[in-house]
Structure 1
């Protein structure tokens, strides 16, 4: 706003100087107004560190010194033009010497930490997550509530919501339609209570997920993924059924030694590695520790152009 006011005032003064033959306007007054303009723009150098703002700052200082007659001799118009050119040449030299860069833009981040739901009824909770371009971790923790959510979210890029009632928790993190920049992944960590039973549903879109369910009582897990990377460690405290609908995703199953795996796969895989797995007559695969394992994970996978890796830990 200040710069616009200065421009309007300067324009009026120039018009008056032409009409009234410089009766009201002297060269020094015009020089003073140009000093304000160049200094006003040049001071933006401390916010926008670029060649233009630094050159304007240098020339604005020169104009200021000449306006108050701080040079040995007064400078004429053409000398000022040469000094303006020199100011931008000096700015270009400084940029090359000191690698002047723009400061990092501030990100409108939210750091979230909440315990959900406040009032829990029953012994089983339905948990669901629906995320875009996020890093999601499910882990166990000694907490009093069924769910503890920790998240770092850029509010300019994502729309983050938590919905819940006495027996359900739904976590939603979707990219805003208006976003045009490539975002940094949101980081979401969900801690679950080791003494509660869970039914878990996950929807992943271009995300990275690490589901460590070893100390969690999971009855049913359903995962729908698109262009995502998933690492899953089944529960060591309960038999679990895991249904995965995968499109162009990488799935890595890590089996504890006391958990057996029964795998049923339908669809296409462009890579598979089944460590210590044997195929049965019905087409399903079974791990070699099935007879002595304490618990079993029943894994049903429907895939399109995906990768599947099974390994023991």
Structure 2
């Protein structure tokens, strides 16, 4: 912008010098004019701390001093050109010493930490998480309430909402339709009480999810996943039934040694690390520790173009 203003002003001066036969335009006037331009450009940009602002201030000051003949001798065009180069060299040196950079742009983020629900009745909680483009973690923790939610959300990108009553908690984190930025993933962690039973429903849209259910009593888990990466460790405190509807997702099941897996699937599914499972007559797959395991995870998968990896930990 400043460069365009200088070009327009220079063009006007040239037109005036031709029309008025240099009556209005002398070298001193041009020097004064550009001295003002460089000073104004330097001062208006100084608060932004951009590289080049100090050079503009130095050279503008030199032009003003020479205009009023405060130097011992008057400077010619070649000397002024060299002084302009020197001004910006000095600016570059100071920029390197003091690491001048643009100010940090403040992001409108919310840091959320809340225990839910305030009043819990019964022994089973209905929990729902419906999230877009987020990093979601489910884990156990020593808490008094059934659910503790911690989240870092950019309010310009996401619409975060929670609903609850005495027996259910619903957590939503949806991308705003009006958002045009490439969003940074929201970070959401949900801690669960080890003494409460849970029916859990997760709706994941392009998310990275880590579900560590080892110390959690999960009676029913339903997951709908689109374009997501899921790592799941089944409960070691209860038998678990997991229904998973997967579209173009990666599913990694990590089994503790005392938990067996019964797998039933339909659709397009690519298996990996399937060595410790065998197929029964009914078409289901069972891990080789089925008869010795304390608890069993029943996994039903309906999938399209997804990958399943099963490993023991």
TM-score bracket, normalised by the shorter chain, equals 0.7 to 0.9
- Label 1:244 to 1:78 Cα distance change in 2 as closer, same or farther (>3 A): same
Q: TM-score, normalised by structure 2?
A: 0.80
**Number of residue pairs matched by the alignment:** 296
> Please, which runs of 5 or more residues in structure 1 have no aligned partner?
none
What is the CA deviation profile of residues 230-254 of structure 1, one whole-angstrom value per residue up to 9, with x for unaligned ones? 1111111111110000111110111
2:277 is equivalent to residue 280 of structure 1: no
Deviates more, 1:91-100 or 1:131-140: 91-100
Q: Please name the residue that 1:40 is paired with.
A: 43
Measured in 1, the distance between the counterparts of 2:164 and 2:181 equals 31
Secondary structure of 1:267's match? strand
> Please, which runs of 5 or more residues in structure 2 have no aligned partner?
14-18
What is the CA deviation profile of residues 247-302 of structure 1, one whole-angstrom value per residue up to 9, with x for unaligned ones? 11110111112212111010112343324211001100112222222211110001
Deviates more, 1:86-95 or 1:134-143: 86-95
Measured in 1, the distance between the counterparts of 2:102 and 2:60 equals 26
C-alpha deviation, 1:156, in angstroms: 2.2
Measured in 1, the distance between the counterparts of 2:284 and 2:191 equals 33
Measured in 1, the distance between the counterparts of 2:287 and 2:293 equals 10
2:235 is equivalent to residue 235 of structure 1: yes
Q: Please name the residue that 2:207 is paired with.
A: 207
Q: TM-score, normalised by structure 1?
A: 0.80
C-alpha deviation, 1:108, in angstroms: 2.6
What is the CA deviation profile of residues 66-95 of structure 1, one whole-angstrom value per residue up to 9, with x for unaligned ones? 435664345578865675566557767988
Measured in 1, the distance between the counterparts of 2:178 and 2:195 equals 42
Q: Please name the residue that 1:57 is paired with.
A: 54
- Label 1:117 to 1:73 Cα distance change in 2 as closer, same or farther (>3 A): farther
Preserved contact between residue 66 and residue 75 of structure 1 (Cα < 8 Å)? no
Q: Please name the residue that 1:248 is paired with.
A: 248
What is the CA deviation profile of residues 184-226 of structure 1, one whole-angstrom value per residue up to 9, with x for unaligned ones? 2211110000111111011111111110011111111000111
Measured in 1, the distance between the counterparts of 2:165 and 2:42 equals 58
C-alpha deviation, 1:59, in angstroms: 2.5
Measured in 2, the distance between the counterparts of 1:90 and 1:179 equals 42
Secondary structure of 1:60's match? helix
Measured in 2, the distance between the counterparts of 1:236 and 1:208 equals 23
Measured in 1, the distance between the counterparts of 2:269 and 2:97 equals 53
